[in-house]
Chain A
Amino acid sequence: EAGVVQSPRYKIIEKKQPVAFWCNPISGHNTLYWYRQNLGQGPELLIRYENEEAVDDSQLPKDRFSAERLKGVDSTLKIQPAELGDSAVYLCASIQSVRGTEAFFGQGTRLTVV
Chain B
Amino acid sequence: GQSLEQPSEVTAVEGAIVQINCTYQTSGFYGLSWYQQHDGGAPTFLSYNALDGLEETGRFSSFLSRSDSYGYLLLQELQMKDSASYFCAGANNRKLIWGLGTSLAVNP
User: Which residues of A come within 8 Å of B, CB atoms?
Assistant: 33, 40-45, 48, 55-56, 91, 93, 98-99, 101-108
Q: Collect the chain B residues with CB atoms within 8 Å of residue A33's CB.
A: 95-96
Q: Could you tell me the distance between the alpha carbons of A33 and B98 in the complex, rounded to whole angstroms?
A: 13
Counting chain B CB atoms within 10 Å of each CB, which of A40, A42, A55, A98 scores highest?
Answer: A42
* Interface Cβ pair total, 8 Å cutoff: 55
Q: CB within 8 A of B42: which of A41, A91, A98, A99? A: A91
Q: How far is the CA of A106 from the CA of B30 in the complex (A)?
A: 25
Residues of B within 8 A of A (CB): 30-31, 33, 35, 41-45, 48, 50, 87, 89, 91, 93-96, 98-101, 103
Residues of chain B within 8 A (CB-CB) of A106 are: 42
Nearest B residue to A42, CB-CB = B98
Shortest distance in angstroms between B30's beta carbon and chain A's nearest beta carbon?
7
User: By the criterion CB–CB under 8 Å, are B31 and A101 in contact?
Assistant: yes
A107 touching B94 in the complex, CB below 8 Å, given contacts A99-B30, A101-B31, A101-B33: no
Closest chain-A Cβ to B50's Cβ sits at a distance in Å of: 7
Contact B98 A103 (CB under 8 A): no
